[in-house]
Amino acid sequence: MSITAEPRPTEDSNPAPQPPQSATRTAWGSLRPLVLRLHFYAGVFVAPFLLVAAVTGFLYACSYQAEKIVYSHELTVPVGTSELPISQQVAAARKAHPEGTLSAVRPSPEAGATTRVLLSGVPGVNTDHKLAVFVDPYTGEIRGALEQYGSTGALPLRTWIDELHRDLHLGQTGRLYSEFAASWLWVIAGGGLVLWFGRARSRRRIRGTSGRRRTLSLHGSVGAWAAAGLFFLSATGLTWSTYAGASISDLREALKQATPTVSAAVAGGGEHAGHDMAGMDMGGGNGSSAAAAKDVGLDAVLKAARAEGLSNPVEIVPPADASSAYVVQQIQRSWPEKQDSVAVDPATGEVTDVLRFADYPVLAKLSRWGIDAHTGILFGIVNQLALAALALSLTLLVVLGYRMWWKRGRGARFGRPIPRGAWQHVPPYILVPLLAAIGVLGYFVPLLGIPLAAFLLLDVVLGEIAYRRGKRSHAPADRA
């Protein structure tokens, strides 16, 4: 976020003859004032949003490990000799919490981990959340119940931090802040990188410098090292934003690169559907109702999924209606990812559809990997440490940028606008694609394109005002 100003030559009423500027200036020389001012405006006006995103992102990167500590009682149990059938574990959970509807079951993924029985429509629980009942898989003991959010299984602590990072707990309106920050992050990082490497090597050194120049050198060095990570955070953050995310989804749909889903349709339906799954015998065969007798139960469904190679961790989703099957999906998002899924006929226990993650379209895979890396899941604690380091780097860049801005001095705080006529010196082969790119960005990434157009318009107006003031100050005095 370097915010140095481009030197501007003083005007003279009788300037010495100069060769045409277009003949002496390179393309970079023509563009540098624009890049410099864009980096400056973004640094001053966008940096506060980036600072909030960096601080909350750092907290989120730490939330995974904090969650394991805070909720260790619910998440872990002493390792036993053998696990109870899934149906018995669900029955124990429903006995303790008969409220709501069975939404999904996440069997214990490893020795010493609890089973999660997820209930929806529970009074007092956010409609976007589920109540997770934690069951000891060896004894059926209920270890507790907590609200869970999202497919990653975030518990209250991580959910609160996640929502703080995403929308500042302001709902849909608050999401505009994070999208605004993500939209501009790559522009600021890219502009700073170009400006930094466009400086002479001797001027990029930190050692031996002092004052504002040392701050600038440190700012540039940190930005250069962090740039790749900042680009990544910006791109992946936009994939699930409100406006840019919708554009990305539409583009993937048009390119037939949307994330596929397993087909849960069952021909002819079944008598089991339309009943609350809580009232059914999930083990199959021992139910008191005819509906329960037609359902093979969770244990048979899980066995069928295992036969298709779906190893832990998995989530079992009961049929939604009379024409739906059970859906079993792997939910491991750490590397290597496990995202295979199958549909199982509740009446027969036969697998009716299989979807392998290996068969996902390329962009669907990249989106999955990108989001999981952005949220700190893909590579576990290493991923989380890298995100924390990036968040700290971005925080430092913002602080150093404002420090440089403060050191400029009162009279030069906002620098000089782009000189009048500067656009005329930009080669057409650069100017035309640049203006077209701004138009495209305004459509697909509105929280970047619209403010960008406003910044450029503002600087053109300021340049015209500065030009007219300078022209008046150099005009000859009127004669009596």
Which tens digits make up the pLDDT trace of 67-105? 999 999 999 999 999 999 999 999 999 999 999 999 999
Let me know whether 318 and 281 are in one domain.
Answer: yes
- Name all contacts of 12-18 with Cβ < 8 Å and 24+ positions apart: 12/474, 13/474, 13/475, 13/476
- Whether 7 shows a pLDDT value over 50: the answer reads no
Let me know whether 197 and 243 are in one domain.
Answer: yes
Q: Answer for the pair 346, 325: CB distance below 8 angstroms, yes or no.
A: yes
pLDDT at 105: 98
Looking at 97, 122, 154, which one is the last position of a domain? 154
CA distances from 147 to 28, 331, 378 (A): 55, 18, 23
- Name all contacts of 195-198 with Cβ < 8 Å and 24+ positions apart: 195/2, 195/32, 195/35, 195/36, 195/39, 195/220, 196/2, 196/220, 196/223, 196/224, 197/224, 198/28, 198/32
Higher local confidence (pLDDT), 460 or 108: 108
Q: Burial, 461: exposed, middle or buried (Cβ in 10 Å; 0-12, 13-18, 19+)?
A: exposed
Q: Is residue 369 a part of any domain in this protein?
A: no
pLDDT at 286: 37
Higher local confidence (pLDDT), 165 or 36: 165
Q: Is residue 264 a part of any domain in this protein?
A: yes
The CATH number assigned to the domain holding 107 equals: 3.10.450.40
Q: Is residue 478 a part of any domain in this protein?
A: no
Q: Answer for the pair 98, 420: CB distance below 8 angstroms, yes or no.
A: no
The whole-angstrom separation of Cα 123 and Cα 112 is 30
CA distances from 332 to 106, 163, 191 (A): 12, 22, 37
Q: Is residue 190 a part of any domain in this protein?
A: yes
- Whether 308 shows a pLDDT value over 90: the answer reads yes
pLDDT-based confidence at 474, cuts 50/70/90? low
Let me know whether 290 and 339 are in one domain.
Answer: yes
Let me know whether 175 and 197 are in one domain.
Answer: yes
Let me know whether 217 and 126 are in one domain.
Answer: no
pLDDT at 358: 96
Let me know whether 414 and 326 are in one domain.
Answer: no
Q: Answer for the pair 316, 267: CB distance below 8 angstroms, yes or no.
A: no
The whole-angstrom separation of Cα 286 and Cα 298 is 13
Could you list the residue range(s) of the whole structural domain that residue 46 is in?
30-58+169-252+382-425
- The secondary structure of 96-148 as a DSSP string is H--SSEEEEEE---STTB-EEEEEES-TTS-TTSEEEEEE-TTT--EEEEEEE
Q: Would you report the helix, strand and coil content of the chain in percent, each value rounded to 5?
A: 55, 10, 35
Let me know whether 265 and 352 are in one domain.
Answer: yes
Q: Is residue 7 a part of any domain in this protein?
A: no
What average pLDDT does this structure show over 476-480?
A: 49
Q: Can you tell me which residue has the tokens 């832990």?
A: 312
The whole-angstrom separation of Cα 273 and Cα 170 is 38
pLDDT tens for residues 425-440? 677 887 788 888 878 8
Let me know whether 281 and 353 are in one domain.
Answer: yes
What average pLDDT does this structure show over 318-331?
A: 95
pLDDT tens for residues 365-414? 999 999 999 999 999 999 999 999 999 999 999 999 998 888 776 445 55
**Average pLDDT score over the chain:** 85
Let me know whether 187 and 207 are in one domain.
Answer: yes
The letter for the amino acid at 472 is R
Q: Burial, 239: exposed, middle or buried (Cβ in 10 Å; 0-12, 13-18, 19+)?
A: middle
Let me know whether 247 and 264 are in one domain.
Answer: no
pLDDT at 11: 40
Spatial neighbors of 289 by CB under 8 A, at least 6 apart, are 275, 279, 280
What average pLDDT does this structure show over 111-129?
A: 96
Overall domain count for the chain? 3
Rg (CA), the chain: 30
With CA atoms as reference, report the closest residue to 37 among 406, 434, 397, 463: 463
Q: Is residue 312 a part of any domain in this protein?
A: yes
Q: Is residue 223 a part of any domain in this protein?
A: yes
Let me know whether 44 and 186 are in one domain.
Answer: yes
Q: Is residue 323 a part of any domain in this protein?
A: yes
The whole-angstrom separation of Cα 35 and Cα 25 is 15
- Whether 463 shows a pLDDT value over 80: the answer reads no
- The secondary structure of 173-210 as a DSSP string is TTHHHHHHHHHHHHHHHHHHHHHHHHS-GGGG--TT--
CA distances from 397 to 55, 77, 192, 418 (A): 12, 44, 11, 24
Let me know whether 344 and 280 are in one domain.
Answer: yes
